[in-house]
A and B are shown apart, each in its own frame.
Chain A
């Protein structure tokens, strides 16, 4: 055992002790003490070698009345897959703790509650990171990223203490550029301090990761301040996308906006095929979750999920084709009626009779005509059924002659490509109440001027349940 000691610092310090058999791992355990090593600052540590592959570590907490509690710590690693590569490109180190006296498994929040703040917290946080680095190193993976969680509080306070992280990585022979420092979502008052701490990690060469984006304090202001290389989406969002229409609709947009921040986007907490399909459809770069591989003390084979990815991607492709076909077939009558109306208008027909046919279709709500300067020409013509469904709260937003649509994408896109119908994503029209989809079409009017005909369609009515939420249908 221990033919492969974990670092020069430990080598001197180690002396073999008793060899109890650990039932849960089924392998021999070597006790290893590093307490005599002056280089080691992460507390009174007893390393237990489960080589190969795992090291155990002990953490001893001090209660309010000075009583001590001992926990044995071990590392679990959860793979993070790249969608384009179909293999793990990184592993997140997760701490597992067992209460030594009772043998009870302790969740990380409970473990960390034993050291809520101050030096004690920093020590525990550092101890966990050091354990993950050593264990990961021993597993022999030589190219992937190692994701390490850091509490913003600890990251910021650590700056004031002796430099630990770089030294620890160096003494373990782990290249800094393969470490992704993951900042978890917790409120943190002194965000400038946090910025400095993150700069420290970036300067020594690590990747910067923001965790739990979209929940609590993990918000856009943090992205601008910290400029992460990778953003992990809050797992609660992952859960919502398959059960809530609102979240499902916004998911793709949120991921695309984060990619514009210059970050790779990781969807974590994926537990079902539906969630995986949503992540694929939303163009996530990285994916993590029990559906692909649960956290475990060993790394799965790199190609272990190749078949699953092939199946998922093929499934997504056929879902997507099917979705487009369905969406298109539903729009066909509206596009045809829009073209008829445009034809009538360009031959000089009056507005109301020209759009009559269009407004008779079940999802059409209102039609309006816009001049090339973006100003509405005349009032809306509402579908009859729509006249009675006005929301009083939005009454003052009713468009009229002269309302200015020139900044709207459906106007701008139509004017740029005359003769082509444009279709928006669903949005709340300024007239309120309902999500709508706008079809727009630029044409030459009978007086030679360019005009844009628009029709708002009731999105829910048009899409029905099967199309409303995008490619992967909801469970509800």
Chain B
């Protein structure tokens, strides 16, 4: 009986020791993560990214809102710009409530939602109408009174539209550049880095900066056989803004 007790005790001590070793192994990896901007960044991008460009629309924003990473419902000013000219149509809840703006079009979107927009009237692509979606997953924190001066820019360039017209699904992640590792050059348009679709787009954007919005653009059109309210979003709030910015 005594021997049995001793065996149990030694087994317990062994398990305790193993648990301590496992904790000690995990501890440095937890320390290596750096808390910047309310998000956990890892210098080597070694941690697992559950989200990618194939994740259904809305999941990334919903996770960001649930986790408290962003303030749910915050209205973030956006700016949608087309290659040169054109019309951007926003849907404030339903297809009947349209807000049409000339490019570059300012708009206020709520963080954590997916919005459907329509782009048309582009002189480079006559007669083309595309319906991309914008999923806002993060927000900016500007000084007081400067939120409209610094919107999150969504720039659709000709390559994006050509790829979408050729039948491909274009996924873009707009990210906030990290100033220390930013490209030391001035760009007239938003710099776009193209990578293979096999890679995790969100993970790559997270490595370069802070992902702010996911834009998905394909050849899908709304149904012509009747109303398709779900196509135009879930009725998230849309705030119309004035045109006060001209540059991209």
Do A and B truly interact? no
Question: Which A residues lie at the B interface, using CB under 8 A?
Answer: none
